[in-house]
A and B are shown apart, each in its own frame.
Chain A
């Protein structure tokens, strides 16, 4: 347990305060130790007793870290009286003492009252002072005063103190910085149950500020409590590291060839084996993964990309045979016996030719059109649409559509009658001729010479090819799918182009079929041209054979070539650079839903600007949802500025080549060897060396930038 109490009274400075607030240093320490409080601030009313503070600080050294402070009476901007706590770095306790004297010297604590401006002046004289204002309880300042204060001081230095632990949870849940202290009234009844626990162990005041900078919730509540997971990681030498990682950023850093990638992947695999959903990013696979966006599923049928097209199978070309003509013998035999039977000549039907029968699809099509009109007519008749048209307009519309309906029905009826009457007449003629032939033992007159049927059979093939070619001349279609962003004005999309085989078609659009399809298309053209050649049956059979040779048999959709490219802002084709591919793949990984994100050198090939402005917010969003980020990095921006809960420094022992792992975080300067607790390194110094290139390089850069 690592509890923090930033609101302790050691003296009753006001006349109305209970004397039980007065405490000796021994009781102070023992009480706090019993309550497992590791950090405490002394905040007496309107007074900072520097001598008592030094005495307590000295007495508590290495046991409880004491922060100097004061609880001030403030006259707010709306004339209200409120209380705030002002804390500062113990190193600045003399400044606190001297600056406070300006406003309190010679004034009894009961009568001290600072204006908001005076409070802010006091704050400005103290480096990185923290202000904690009463909130949702007595002695609360007005919202106007609180806004005034928050406009001047950074958010991470301004906390609110509610009355209860429950209120604190609500406050933190809404993203406000909050803390709660004991405000101890009686040291014999120290309210240890009300004291919050810090999310992370820290060493000093500056690390408290760091923690606040990283996360507005510096203390645990039921809602924001970080979870942890202990993972066993297999090292290249066969040993096992057991490491505890948190639902936050966990950094692995160190020199080259120290096993960082293996380490983070080992942690990732540990999560996977425990059933967690893990997303991994590896910059070396970014190009390969990027190319996956351009993969096309060639087993899919893309005919629906073109509206109103039937995916006609080329099987219609199989088994073609010409309609056989009527033999001359039939005419000869008929004429040979025509005068043999006089009765035969009396029946006119014996000399009639077949009528031309219409295609049944014509009347079917006309009837379908009529059905659609009727359906609309019925629908329109029962709906008044009075929101859109007047009653008169509705009546007119019904009349017009009614006329169309009647005309359409008549047309389909005539077509139907024509079709069936021709068919019945032909049946009649054939029946009479057959009957006459049987009765008179003479040959019937041929109904036709077969020319029209011969023409029709071939012409149907011509029409089929004509329609296929018409379909294949349709304009290409394009689909765009967003991939990611290259800055605010550059969006990357995949452009999928669907087009029928043409002179510009490329191999990649038809990976296995292009040559065959070109042959088939060419053969179709030949067949169409030779529709009335003697060679036609051979040509059409060759077309059928070519069509069978293509997997899954050729249909119209087989001629749709598919090609995917990247495009910027849906315009020209764009080939992302290797660095851009990495950016996209990293963004893609971070935007996926997972429990754990394993990122291997995410900064590789990326600008620091992109890392800070695009990657940072995504990672912060992830960890705010209590998810795990495990990251190997050489970037100081990522390793340090993200203020990771866990930092693992990887090093190779120069003596025996063993892989060493030191565990720590920015809030504690010590990093401890996982296998040897005595072996420690300093966090700041190690980061400076490994991530910044050493202290000198870091300082020199600062001088060059003129920021030091």
Chain B
């Protein structure tokens, strides 16, 4: 079993907008309130760059004050999908072959 680094993700509310904040090197935030594909792609590339180096797990930490927000559910579901796809990539034979 390889050791998986844990990445903590938290829902934050700033300037009337919801973000998922990841405790990555640049404290990366994914804006949930404005739907910008380029911003998502940029987030993907950021994630994949780190992912290329080591396997990691994303742990979503609910905050009490935003627990009842619909965006909390959005963040949970999104991170669930994100984790599954990260795992799919990591277990892909091509990825295994060339990394």
Contacts and interface: CB of A to CB of B under 8 A. Distances in A.
Interface stretch (A100-108, A324-332, A678-686): A324-332
Given A452-B89, A463-B94, A533-B45, A327 B37 contact: yes
Interface in A326-344: 326-329, 331-332, 334-336
**Dominant SS at the A interface?**
helix
A446 interface: yes
B98 A449 contact: no
A533 B47 CA distance: 10
Given A335-B74, A532-B45, A353 B84 contact: yes
B68 interface: no
A463 to B, nearest CB: 7
A430 B12 CA distance: 32
Contacts of B94: 459, 463
A328 B86 CA distance: 17
Given A322-B41, A532-B45, A534-B42, A459 B85 contact: no
B41 A325 contact: yes
**Dominant SS at the B interface?**
helix
B54 interface: no
A328 B70 CA distance: 12
B11 to A, nearest CB: 12
A532 B49 contact: yes
Contacts of B24: none
B73 interface: yes
A334 to B, nearest CB: 8
Interface string B64-98: 00000011011001100110111011001011001
A534 B36 CA distance: 14
A536 B45 CA distance: 10
B47 to A, nearest CB: 7
A454 B32 CA distance: 19
B48 A455 contact: yes
B82 A449 contact: yes
A532 B53 CA distance: 12
A451 B70 contact: no
Nearest to B82: A449
Interface string B13-39: 000000000000000001010010100
Interface residues of A, number: 31
A331 B41 CA distance: 17
Given A331-B78, A449-B81, A463-B94, A324 B37 contact: yes
A328 B32 contact: yes
Given A532-B52, A534-B42, A451 B86 contact: yes
Contact of B85 (A322, A331, A448): A448
A450 interface: yes
A450 B38 CA distance: 13
Contact of A335 (B48, B73, B92, B95): B73
Given A332-B70, A449-B81, A356 B88 contact: yes
Q: Which of A325, A331, A448, A450 has the most CB of B within 10 A?
A: A331
A466 interface: yes
A534 B98 CA distance: 21
Interface in A417-472: 446, 448-452, 454-456, 459, 462-463, 466
Interface in A306-336: 322, 324-329, 331-332, 334-336
A329 B36 CA distance: 10
B40 interface: yes
Given A332-B71, A332-B74, 6 more contacts: A331-B74, A335-B77, A450-B44, A451-B47, A451-B48, A451-B85
Closest 5 CB pairs of A and B: A325-B40, A449-B81, A532-B48, A451-B85, A452-B85
13 contacts: A325-B44, A328-B30, A328-B35, A335-B77, A446-B81, A448-B85, A449-B78, A450-B44, A454-B41, A455-B48, A459-B94, A532-B45, A532-B52
